[in-house]
Structure 1
Amino acid sequence: MSTTPKIAIIGAGPAGLTLGAILQKNSVPFTIFDSDASPNERNQGGTLDLHPQGGQAALKEAGLWEEFTKFARPESDVLKVVKNDGEVLWDGNTIDKREVPEDEKFANRPEIDRSALKEILLTAVKPEAIQWDKHLAEAVAGEGGKYDLHFADGTVEKDFDLIVGADGAWSKIRKLLTDKLPEYSGISLIECWSYDVAKKNPWMSEYVGAGSCYSFGEGRTIQIQRLGDGSIRAYACLRKPESFLKECGIDWTDAESAKKQYVKEYFDDCGADLKRVILESNDHFVTRVLYQLPVGFTWESRPGVTLIGDAAHLMTPFGGVGVNAAMMDSLLLAQELIKFVQSGEGKLADVVKQYETDMFPRGEMFARKTMDGMKKHFSAGGSEHLAGRLLAHFPRKS
């Protein structure tokens, strides 16, 4: 009897595509189902850094390292830290940097746009292995320990031996394992974009620098990212009740007026340059409410079902580990599945349980790091704390 399971991956984000890419490289079949109508239906978000033991290791396992180096930006692994009042405490753009040998350029945590990462992963998965525009209604346990997928368009895909939920914060697959839903993190924010900044607004390009610019303070942060496409994204975040954005009295349908009111009411005493970045980033505007799963979230293992990425351990971005954690999940689950298929030994249920046994403490570790990061980011002296750490490790230019 064949030990090759019929695998469904729900979600074509970084976690789902990474799992698919590694499985495909090792000739393990699968099908990815995603609710988006096409690969580029939604904006993929800002930039992120991939860690050597996280996202980088997963891309190497998928045979995508060379592609990654074409799009990664080692030069953007640099920070600028500013007090809420505008005082620059640290500017990594000005420190002395030794000439880095070619083979060491990607040894740390190079930045890559989320859109570029998705394109790299898509090149490694055969188009026929992904079904787009498939809105999952529910997953149902069938006969013989198998599962059926019921979609909003009325279609049903039957008899899967393993369903992997890579379907994000509000995962439908998680419902097969637990009733637990994400909780409000305490943080709400506005996100503002500015395109082609070097040409359209050279001042902003110079002020932000080559990488990220952070300003942390009691109950609020401003975080600014440079992307590889020449744009900048700015996030003005507040520790507020979950209903804040709906009940604060700001009309979010008028972006320009809303930003002015938001900055005036909640960031008026911040440095003029920090406020200027928010107010002059006029190309796109969105409000966000951030959710998370509890630190130490687990579930009782169930044969034929498991979770990866945000579906398994949703975190806020304040630890900088979310995508790396997701890609590590995918790497380690893929390795377990490949061993199972190639050896022809053991039980699929044991593969799932072993993956979860290894993943739970790692997910808890990342979640604790994120909670600690969020606490520091939104505390008085948050900028000073980060700048002090940087000053202890890097020399300033004389």
Structure 2
Amino acid sequence: MNTTPIPRISIIGAGPGGLTCARILQKHGVDVTVYDRDPDADARDQGGSLDLHADEGQLALREAGQIEQFWKLARPEGQQMRRWDTTGKVLLDQVPDEDDRYKPEIDRGQLRELLLDSLAPGTVRWGHTLASVAGPAEGPRMLHFTDGTSVETDLVIGADGAFSRVRPAVSAAVPYYSGITFTEARFDDVENRHADLSALVGNGSGTAADGERALFAQRNSGGHIRVYIIRRAPADWITAAGLTAEDTAGIRAHLLDEFAGWAPSTRRMISDNDGPYADRPLFVLPAPHAWDHVPTVTLLGDAAHLMPPIGVGVNLAMLDAHDLALALATHSTVDEAVRAYEKTMLPRSGDLAGALVGGAGLLLEADQQPDSQDEFRALRQKLKG
């Protein structure tokens, strides 16, 4: 970027999108600072496994110079997809070809660590929870943090997820509850402690559904499996049932009752978990979500386009990061770069979000999922137009 003075670029959020954007900017010699609310990199569990697509997440990692590191961690065998009925009978077992690398799996934590290790020391400022973005639209902007500190900056990039604190600077849109909730159950040392579940899931993931509820099981690295118990329920269903998030036994009994018609082999994915459940109600943004251009603020990933979790979110976030970082590295001003990025990103995400309106309900319909890698690719191309 050839401009004087050198712009101060601030990314809010050290998730895959924010870190990818920072890495590509640094690779092109552009200074950037990332602010994240976590006290440190290991403050919380980063979640399950991700499938990074060749034309999205992998594309971004290649530009970031991290594709070789990715392949040291990626699990191409994790592309295996199974579908069961509610008794656990295998209806579909799609095993990837040996050379298929279209959408291999990688743990979220591994991806985050890979990206953090690629950044210059001190790039991420931990323990910075954003309170608000102030200042005139033409800049400079002032970032106010909840600890009372403030930072002046020339560009704010909101990569801070569903409930973004940056989004209000450009848009009045707020996420709304989809009516679908995920309850996560974790299984550890599965080869020894949960051998039946390990055999049922295989190397990748599997799902069973009856139209109103579903189970989605996903193998992670290190002998772990996560199961997502998916249902239509009020966002406050735990409180409404007279339970608390810490009442593992009570939540287990409630869920088992809802899945009473399912076979014991599948209900063990609800009952035999290690440790507490994690409640994850599914929120989405109105679609399509767009905003009038502001030269000093923009969004990427879930902050810009929050959609159902069907292999879209992280890949789009990393593709956004790729496009925005390259725009900033190649345009003469921040304003021109943000315009160029949004000219590509907003139509792309708007079309996809429009195609997925009501898509959360597909998670409860196993027969709506693609049956093969070729069908998956065809679906992705259709959604992307």
TM-score, normalized by the shorter chain, greater than 0.5: yes
Q: Conserved in 1, the CA contact under 8 Å of 2:178 and 2:360?
A: no
In structure 2, which of residues 219, 226, 232 is the aligned counterpart of residue 233 of structure 1? 226
Residue 96 of structure 2 corresponds to residue 114 of structure 1: no
Deviations 1:50-104 (A, max 9, x none): 00111000000000011000000001111110123433211235xxx65x3xxx4
Give the corresponding residue for 1:365.
351
Q: Conserved in 2, the CA contact under 8 Å of 1:11 and 1:165?
A: yes
Give the corresponding residue for 1:323.
314
Change in CA separation of 1:144 and 1:261 when aligned onto 2, cut-off 3 Å:
closer
Report the 3-state secondary structure (helix = DSSP H, G, I; strand = E; otherwise coil) of the residue aligned with 1:37: coil
Residue 46 of structure 2 corresponds to residue 44 of structure 1: yes
Give the corresponding residue for 1:374.
360
Shift of 1:185: 1.0
Separation in 2, partners of 1:3, 1:245: 53
For structure 1, list consecutive stretches of 5 or more residues without a partner in the other structure: none
Give the corresponding residue for 1:352.
338
Question: Percent identity over the alignment?
Answer: 37
**How do 1:126-205 and structure 2 match up within 5 A?**
126-141=120-135, 145-158=139-152, 160-205=153-198
Give the corresponding residue for 2:250.
257
Corresponding residue pairs, total: 374
Separation in 2, partners of 1:6, 1:392: 44
Separation in 2, partners of 1:329, 1:117: 17
Shift of 1:173: 0.7
Deviations 1:313-357 (A, max 9, x none): 11221x2110000000000001100102xxxx3x42222122112
For structure 2, list consecutive stretches of 5 or more residues without a partner in the other structure: 377-385
Deviations 1:264-306 (A, max 9, x none): 1x11112321111221112342112111101211111111000
Change in CA separation of 1:147 and 1:204 when aligned onto 2, cut-off 3 Å:
same
Residue 333 of structure 2 corresponds to residue 333 of structure 1: no
Residue 293 of structure 2 corresponds to residue 301 of structure 1: yes
Report the 3-state secondary structure (helix = DSSP H, G, I; strand = E; otherwise coil) of the residue aligned with 1:127: coil
Separation in 1, partners of 2:137, 2:48: 43
Separation in 1, partners of 2:342, 2:197: 45
Shift of 1:250: 4.0
Q: Conserved in 2, the CA contact under 8 Å of 1:136 and 1:152?
A: yes
Q: Conserved in 1, the CA contact under 8 Å of 2:138 and 2:294?
A: no
Shift of 1:175: 0.9
Give the corresponding residue for 1:208.
201
Report the 3-state secondary structure (helix = DSSP H, G, I; strand = E; otherwise coil) of the residue aligned with 1:48: strand
Give the corresponding residue for 1:59.
61
Shift of 1:244: 2.7
Deviations 1:181-214 (A, max 9, x none): 1011111132110111112221211111111011
Report the 3-state secondary structure (helix = DSSP H, G, I; strand = E; otherwise coil) of the residue aligned with 2:304: helix
Give the corresponding residue for 1:283.
275
Give the corresponding residue for 2:367.
384
Which sits farther off after the overlay, 141-150 or 60-69?
Answer: 141-150
Q: Conserved in 2, the CA contact under 8 Å of 1:21 and 1:62?
A: yes
Report the 3-state secondary structure (helix = DSSP H, G, I; strand = E; otherwise coil) of the residue aligned with 2:281: strand
Shift of 1:391: 10
Change in CA separation of 1:248 and 1:189 when aligned onto 2, cut-off 3 Å:
farther
Change in CA separation of 1:316 and 1:386 when aligned onto 2, cut-off 3 Å:
closer
Q: Conserved in 2, the CA contact under 8 Å of 1:321 and 1:366?
A: no
Separation in 2, partners of 1:140, 1:377: 39
Moved over 6 A (4+): 391-394
Separation in 2, partners of 1:188, 1:377: 10
Separation in 2, partners of 1:300, 1:383: 39
Could you tell me the TM-score, scaled by structure 1's length? Answer: 0.89
The amino acid across from 1:280 in the alignment is D
Could you tell me the TM-score, scaled by structure 2's length? Answer: 0.91
Separation in 2, partners of 1:219, 1:143: 46
Change in CA separation of 1:4 and 1:63 when aligned onto 2, cut-off 3 Å:
same
Separation in 2, partners of 1:109, 1:207: 21
**How do 1:62-77 and structure 2 match up within 5 A?**
62-77=64-79
Separation in 1, partners of 2:150, 2:348: 35
The amino acid across from 2:55 in the alignment is Q
Report the 3-state secondary structure (helix = DSSP H, G, I; strand = E; otherwise coil) of the residue aligned with 2:369: helix
Separation in 2, partners of 1:195, 1:27: 42
Give the corresponding residue for 1:312.
304
The amino acid across from 2:337 in the alignment is V
Shift of 1:375: 3.0
Deviations 1:225-257 (A, max 9, x none): 100121111111111233333213445432133
The amino acid across from 2:109 in the alignment is S
Shift of 1:383: 2.2
Separation in 1, partners of 2:305, 2:369: 25
Separation in 2, partners of 1:369, 1:5: 37
Which sits farther off after the overlay, 195-204 or 57-66?
Answer: 195-204
Q: Conserved in 1, the CA contact under 8 Å of 2:87 and 2:265?
A: no
Separation in 2, partners of 1:189, 1:217: 15
CA RMSD of aligned residues (A): 2.1
Give the corresponding residue for 2:235.
242
Shift of 1:4: 3.1
Separation in 1, partners of 2:156, 2:28: 19
Shift of 1:9: 0.5
Shift of 1:220: 1.3
